[in-house]
Amino acid sequence: MYFVLCAAVFLAAYTLNVLMITVGYHRGLAHGAVTLGPRLRRFVIRYGVWVTGLDPKAWVVMHRRHHAYSDTPQDPHSPTNVGLLGIPLEQLRSYERTLVGLARKDPRLNAFTQGLDFEISWMNRKRVWWIPYTVHLLVALGIGALGGGWLLAAAYYLGMMSHPVQGGLVNAFGHAVGGRNFETGDDSRNNLTVALCVAGEGLQNNHHAYPRSAKFSFRAWEPDAGYFACRVLQALGLLQVDAEHLIPSADSSRSMATGS
């Protein structure tokens, strides 16, 4: 039973982290594929950094640069440039450079800040970026010290601070290993294993073909839990999916092509 509890805590923490990034940061702030309601948008901007450890503005700007220069020498994190094993360090370096550039008001980043009418978090302005990591570490230590057990503590911390693994999987394998539904002019791939683990984010080829789509899946069997979360949040009145820019399904595309 204890191991079931540990697994449940890890999955809950991991899910909170991944949904903050894929729904709030990525499909919401970065691409406008969903319009976040006022309350949800405030929550993402103010507290996203506490949930994930990642500044929302810096994440969005780096991601927009990735789309602008995908798999070219200017891409902030491409396995084409640094290899699969180089991605974890490269994405960290690019994130840090983006934070510094935003803090210094680097005009070269202006093209990637449209619609981001907020500053980087005060923790990053004051160079105390480590505070969210420390808070979650203290919570984990408290869980262990108060009798929850150290495995449960580790499950909590690793789930909450799982973004380096999520990002590494998507940025590496999503641009190196997998199939392609579309010719996009870059090396994007659809990696179903990564898509299953990271709420649809592994469907990079589909996403690069239709970046404004809140739905990343093209074929019925391509997993995209992130879009399911968007539909649930829309039903709750917390966001609005941009239906106009949704990627078509493979079946509907085939029907249009055959005229049926």
Distance from CA of residue 105 to its chain's centroid?
24
Residue 159 included in any domain: yes
Residue 108 included in any domain: no
Residue 107 included in any domain: no
Who's near 38: CB < 8 A, 6+ residues apart?
none
Write down the residue that tokens 């879009």 correspond to.
227
pLDDT digits (tens, 9 = 90+) for 20-42: 999 999 999 999 999 999 999 99
Place 143 in a pLDDT band, splitting at 50, 70 and 90: very high
Residue 85 included in any domain: no
Residue 249 included in any domain: yes
Q: Residues 73-84: what's their mean pLDDT?
A: 96
| Number of structural domains in the chain | 1
Residue 117 included in any domain: no
User: What's the whole-number average pLDDT of the chain?
Assistant: 95
CB neighbourhood size of 146 (10 A): 9
Q: Which residue has the higher pLDDT, 147 or 238?
A: 238
Q: Residues 152-161: what's their mean pLDDT?
A: 97
**What is the spatial distance between Cα 199 and Cα 213, in angstroms, rounded to a whole number?**
15
Residue 203 has pLDDT above 70, yes or no: yes
Residue 259 has pLDDT above 80, yes or no: no
Residue 256 has pLDDT above 70, yes or no: no
Place 111 in a pLDDT band, splitting at 50, 70 and 90: very high
**Bridge partners of 241?**
34
**Bridge partners of 36?**
239
Residue 84 included in any domain: no
Residue 255 has pLDDT above 50, yes or no: no
Residue 149 has pLDDT above 80, yes or no: yes
Residue 258 has pLDDT above 90, yes or no: no
Query: Residue 236 sits in which domain range?
Result: 2-51+128-258
Residue 254 has pLDDT above 90, yes or no: no
